[in-house]
Chain A
Amino acid sequence: MKLPLIASALGIILLAFGCIILLPAALAGIENEYFEVFAFACGSVCSFALGALCRWYGRSSRNFDVLRRSEGLLIVTLTWIITAAIGALPYLFFGLHPLDAYFESMSGFTTTGATILKDFSLYPKSFFFWRSLTQWLGGMGIIVLFVAVLPQLGVAGRQIFFAEAPGPSEEKITPRIAHTAKALWLIYLLLTCLQILLMTLAGMPVFDAVCNSLTTMAAGGFSPHPESIMGYGNPTITWIVSLFMLLAGTNFALQYKFFIKGKIRSLFSNDEFRFYLAVITVFSLLLCFFLYTRQGSMFSDSLRNSVFQIISILTTTGFSSADFALWAVPAQALLFAMMLIGGCAGSAGGGIKVVRILFTGKFLKREIDQIVHPRAVLPIKLGGVTVHNDVQRQMISFMLFYIVLMIFSALIVTMIEHDAAVGLAGTAATIGNVGPGFGEIGPMGSFGFLHPATKIIFIVDMLVGRLELIPFLAMFCPDFWSFDKNSR
């Protein structure tokens, strides 16, 4: 591993990131809040300074064509850790504890949407805008953004592009990775703009529409309103948000083919997407049934809330149109099941991913079939194409790692908090990048009351969940850390 090379790549990314932090500063400037301008400018300067330092350290390595896989993984992980840290700097100026600030920032970039804020009235607009913007950046992936806009990364872009989102399929919709990244961001940007427009037409204030749209498309879940989408009390808005959450949880490469290239059938002939829709339909109806019979709410409310909540939790957005922490246990259990599934591969959603769940189902079915027909040759097919053995192994080990990590994290948190609900739901909500859990960390609650150790565990959970375990796990291999001493 060549440190200068990594530093050099990080340097480019940090310099670019410094520019992005100027956006909320500009907003604060328009509002004439000079203290806020200072807060964000400070973050920006830190980013520039650190970036310049890295560039200086890595001045000897400007050629990224020789980037190795492990170096790519480290660049991606460091990018997420450092950008989250720099993104947390402005929060410090608004009186947040450093750990809380980092939690909030990490929750933002990883599109988790878990918040430590207890009282929303204390903070200005630019604060909420930055919160939403971090989610929007993290939704499509910071690395994807930089691969799209920074030509310097060149060939290395490919390496780090797939290190950031190591989904089961390496899907490139254009031959060149930078073009793919641009195409993905294009569809992401267009959908966000469309949502802002629709929400404004539906009667939401423009600032709220922008903030909520940024976090909807990112499957994030931060809202400037303390009561999330429920706080707007507008059924039309609830349905609009449902629709865009649904899109946020769908593979963007597919959406690119669907919306831009006009290949209508590509979306509905996709096994994962069909399964995704089936899950939403079935569970929404089930939840609707529970709400209608047990909670005694009106049918239209039950239907709207159940569809919204199922999509919100399944896509790991974490918005709430009702306080589901108060719902009956069966309803909560349904939502908890959704937390474990997550969005489609290649979407903004986190979690295990629909395709892996679908695959695991087929894998288990094959094991049963094989008992009955020991001599049968039974391939596992997704979309009519056989899943290669290597990919099968990867997916199954991913499931195992995910479950093992979840169990450990849940146990430790339960011990710290003396509360199994917080331990289990909190872990599922953070490692799956969902956001709110149940009980005191529910949609109307806050993570702010938790023990600092719990917060640290959740921060790690969020990062590991967002990077889909692989970069994190690779770091436990001793050989990962073998540095080239002579490379300078």
Chain B
Amino acid sequence: MKMNKNDYFLIIACAVLAGVLFLIFEKCRDDNGKYVVVRDDGEIVLELRLDTETEYRYKNSYGFNTIVIKNNCVYVESSDCHNEECIRQGKISKTGESIVCLPHKVVISIGAGNIKTENDELDGVAG
């Protein structure tokens, strides 16, 4: 039951590790989270604006996920995966947050997006 000195040392070491990782991620974080980025097996397949209201049914060989964007939040409304863990993960709205559907290999995250930098002007025109 008693905790010894080494236990405290271990806990502090883990906490420091968490702190350092947090600072690194915070530094790398792209604050410009205007896009909902959908990745399928690591590749970006879809980018949607976060400030719109839309519903998208993303389908791949594993199954589908219905992604809903509403009030600057993203969530998965329905999916045919076995555990529906993606639905349980709820709404995300902050840069860096993500929803993972492990069985479908789909990651939905909020970030700056790649398409924006490539087609910035086109986007402006399409506006």
* A and B associate in one complex: no
Give chain A's interface residues, CB within 8 Å of chain B: none
What is the interface of chain B, defined by CB distance below 8 A to chain A? none
